[in-house]
Amino acid sequence: MKKTGTGDYLFILPSVVVFFVVTIYPLIYLLWLSLHRRHLIFDISRFVFLDNFLFLFTDPRFLTALKNTVYFTVVSVSLEITLGLVIALFLNNLTTGRGIVSAIVLVPWAVPTVVSAKMWEWLYNPDYGLFNYLLGVKVNWLGSPFWAMNAAIFMDVWKTTPFVALLLTAGLKLIPSELYHAARIDGAGRWYIFRRIVLPLLKPIILVVLLFRTIDAFRVFDAIYVLTGGGPAGTTETLSIYAYRILFQTLQFGYGSAIAMFIFMCVGLISIFYVSILQRGFR
């Protein structure tokens, strides 16, 4: 195309500046902080190199948070993909009222996570909650170490499955209907068509959705912070919540930044993992 005019670069300059100031510079700052012992109240700042990172793996609270985060991520993402696929297949077959159903399905995704967390906290209420009333039980969902994390997962599944379902529906729409017809004429059954035609063609989109969801789940904060605050007894404390507590409640900016840096690196590895699968698939 035309013109190697340097003026063309002015168009991306604002983005570059904003990205530099609000993402790159803070990230470098984060790395710097994570190599220091820094406390905001006592105004301490001392270079400790990798001490913070070494300490991570001897910190039982960090290890629990890591375990919680992985559990939350694996369980919620697998449930969301499965359930999302079922809803997507159903929506794709829906001939009338698809618009309205899609809009309804979008609502949980669109409301603030904080609102849905509060909503579910009330539903889970041990004394006056709707769940216990409808199930006729008296379970302290958010107060029991066993139930609390699963209750949080259940809420997250409710909130994000719609997003998954709608993206997968869009993916299903890209599969030409001739393909289904051809397969039917070739004598393939429903399940066979799903496994041999729909799933392979949907694979790239499933991977993209998995990428988004895994990263989102791994960095989960608001949902659990509002629902349980990390309790009871730290059984729902995730890495983001732990990092936040260390940073802004105990004001240990050095160690807190090391945890944040760890989360950043995990998310980076997760993305690289999925992107490499995606690229291999396209080759």
State the nearest-atom distance from the C-beta of 91 to another protein, in Å.
Answer: 8
> Is 87 or 149 the residue whose CB approaches another protein more closely?
87
**Residue 192 belongs to what H/E stretch?**
helix 190-193
- Return the number of the residue (12 or 182) whose C-beta is nearest another protein: 12
Burial class (CB in 10 A: 0-12, 13-18, 19+), 59: middle
Q: Cβ 178 to another protein, closest distance in Å?
A: 20
Q: What's the rounded Cα separation, in Å, for the pair 246 and 264?
A: 16
Phi and psi for 234 in degrees, rounded to 5? Answer: 75, 10
Instruction: Give burial (CB, 10 Å; 0-12/13-18/19+) of 208.
Output: middle
Asked whether the bond before 60 is cis by omega within 30 degrees of 0, the reply is no
Handedness of CA 168, 174, 179, 181 (dihedral sign): positive
Alpha-carbon Rg for the chain in angstroms: 23
Are 193 and 89 in contact, with CB atoms under 8 Å apart?
no
Q: Minimum Å distance from CB 135 to another protein?
A: 12
In the complex, least distance from residue 185 CB atom to another protein, rounded to whole angstroms:
21
Q: Of 207, 213, 225, nearest to 277 (Cα)?
A: 207
Rounded to a whole number of angstroms, the minimum distance from the CB of residue 222 to another protein is 4
**Shortest Cβ distance from residue 74 to another protein (Å)?**
17
Contacts of 64 (CB under 8 A, 6+ apart): 234, 235, 237
